[in-house]
Amino acid sequence: MRSLFLKIFLYFLLIILLVATAVVILTHFRDQEFPPLAQQSFARQAIAEYGREAIQVYEQDGIEGLDEFSKILLSESGIRLLLFDQDSQPLTRKRVPRRMQHMAHRAMHSGEVVFPKMGARNGLASIVHGPSGKTYFVAISLPERPAAQNLVKGVTHGFLGWRLLILLAITAVVCYFLARSLTAPIGRLRRATRKFADGDLSTRIGNQIKGNNELAGLAHDFDEMAGKIEALVGAQKNLLRDISHELRSPLARLGIALELARQQESSAAQNKALARIELEAERMNIMIGQLLSLTRLESGVNAVPLQKFDLQELLSNLVEDANYEAETRRCRVVYNAPEVAIYTGSEELLAQALENVIRNAVKYTDDNTIVSVDLIGAAECWTIQVADHGSGVPEESLAKLFEPFYRVAVARDRQTGGTGIGLAIAERAIRLHSGTITAKNRSQGGLLIEITLPIET
């Protein structure tokens, strides 16, 4: 059971139902054994009034007179009366109900007024002394309630199943609102943390969770933490952006100085040094451009300019450009795709992301090998697979490939001119399109980068 709401709801419901069921059952059986006070009082009055009169009739007219008296009493008032001698033997020729016989026996042994233990609640048996001083036991059964009164009584006392069903419904409603009141703030906090984790650093809970309890305190702490993290990340991004902009100016001046130096006569060694300086300056310029792109993608502005374009044509142009670079190492980029692949998104961002992935594969594939680029269509997404035939990547480094400035081998990256930013840019651009990008080693050697782009972004 993974839902906290469901756990709390069922636990509260079970506990309340157990307690309430026990109370209802005990009350039910207590009411069965002990009649209500109004019935007890009426039964006592009936025995006091009719009991002595029945004894007087019996002592004067015998059993026949007593039976006639009982018959008239039953027809006129609905009260059934039976007289027992001091040994609790019935003084009648008619059939004696077992319930009334048992009450007479109990009254004889206890010497007290007794009521039925179970079942009907409208009977009573008691000791009564006649005019002659003899001891008798009188048992009576009161008339049943009218139909309407029985109906009300049945709903409230008689039908235990209905009482439990009504109790279950009321308890379920109470437990639902109780569990909802406890878990709703947790749900709001979870949605806020999920939104914050997805990159929206401006997420705050604010007044969504009110009160002075622990959850309200946790929401306040979350807002305070989110504010500090947003400020730190913002300061870091601003620093990167400012440094990148500031470096552009001296690089431009360095380029101008290199052109002026080349216009003057210089030795071969000087020309070689100038070429090296120009290469390093160009690399630094490229890195600064990538830093600015990465900062823009991580700025928190998730709005992607949407436009329809042919993804197949975009990849075809990128593969054609990559082949020029691959020819210097006698490599080739092979492209497999359907004729048309219409996609809605930012063509500029995806071009930059896909170019970084393809050029990365060309850099690290072995000489005289093939880099394959496959575009696969499906009902819900487009899948792009870029595979090289290089040495692959250590398994522990696969998850870090898309982190900024991460490089598996520093010496190799410097040799190929890598800075560890290209794949990070690709990951941010793909994520802005609600897509995914993953890396894994191929069984036949090399690295496979797989990109999925949902058709509905």
pLDDT in tens, 285-323: 766 776 666 666 666 544 567 789 999 999 999 999 999
- pLDDT bin (cut points 50, 70, 90) of residue 45 is confident
Question: Is residue 319 a part of any domain in this protein?
Answer: yes
Contact 167, 17 (CB under 8 A): yes
- pLDDT bin (cut points 50, 70, 90) of residue 155 is very low
Question: Is residue 209 a part of any domain in this protein?
Answer: no
User: Exactly one of 129, 245, 389, 433 is catalytic; which is it?
Assistant: 245
Residues 435 and 311 occupy one common structural domain: yes
Residues 328 and 421 occupy one common structural domain: yes
pLDDT, residue 21, reads 74
Section 246-270 average pLDDT = 73
pLDDT, residue 412, reads 45
Question: Is residue 369 a part of any domain in this protein?
Answer: yes
Q: Given phi > 0 = left and psi -120 to 50 = alpha, else beta, which region is 330?
A: left
Report whether pLDDT(192) > 80: yes
* Single-letter amino acid code for the residue at 294: L
- Copy the structure tokens of residue 88: 């609790």
* Percentage above 70 pLDDT, the chain: 79
Residue where the block lists tokens 């059964």 = 141
Residues 315 and 436 occupy one common structural domain: yes
pLDDT, residue 40, reads 64
Residues 292 and 311 occupy one common structural domain: no
Instruction: Tell me the angle at which helices 214-262 and 268-297 cross, rounded to the nearest 10 degrees.
Output: 160
Residues 315 and 431 occupy one common structural domain: yes
Assign residue 312 the CATH number of its domain: 3.30.565.10
Domain that holds residue 223: 214-297
Residues 345 and 401 occupy one common structural domain: yes
Assign residue 42 the CATH number of its domain: 3.30.450.170
Residues 442 and 332 occupy one common structural domain: yes
Boundary-marking domain end, from 101, 129, 144 = 144
Section 1-18 average pLDDT = 71
Residues 129 and 248 occupy one common structural domain: no
Boundary-marking domain end, from 144, 164, 181 = 144
Contact 65, 58 (CB under 8 A): yes
245 is catalytic: yes
Residues 329 and 379 occupy one common structural domain: yes
Report whether pLDDT(373) > 90: yes
Burial letters 200-214, b for 16+ CB under 10 A, else e: ebebbbeeebeeeee
Assign residue 253 the CATH number of its domain: 1.10.287.130
Helices (H) and strands (E) in the chain, counts: 12, 10
Could you tell me which residue, 271 or 294, shows the higher pLDDT?
271
Report whether pLDDT(83) > 60: yes
Question: Is residue 202 a part of any domain in this protein?
Answer: no
Question: Is residue 46 a part of any domain in this protein?
Answer: yes
Residues 283 and 377 occupy one common structural domain: no
Question: Is residue 5 a part of any domain in this protein?
Answer: no
Residues 448 and 334 occupy one common structural domain: yes
Question: Is residue 190 a part of any domain in this protein?
Answer: no
* Full-model pTM: 0.48
Report whether pLDDT(255) > 70: yes
Question: Is residue 239 a part of any domain in this protein?
Answer: yes
Report whether pLDDT(336) > 90: yes
**Total structural domains within the chain:** 3
Residues 70 and 135 occupy one common structural domain: yes
Mean pLDDT of all residues belonging to the chain: 78
- pLDDT bin (cut points 50, 70, 90) of residue 331 is very high
Boundary-marking domain end, from 271, 297, 323 = 297
Contact 384, 354 (CB under 8 A): yes
Report whether pLDDT(33) > 60: no
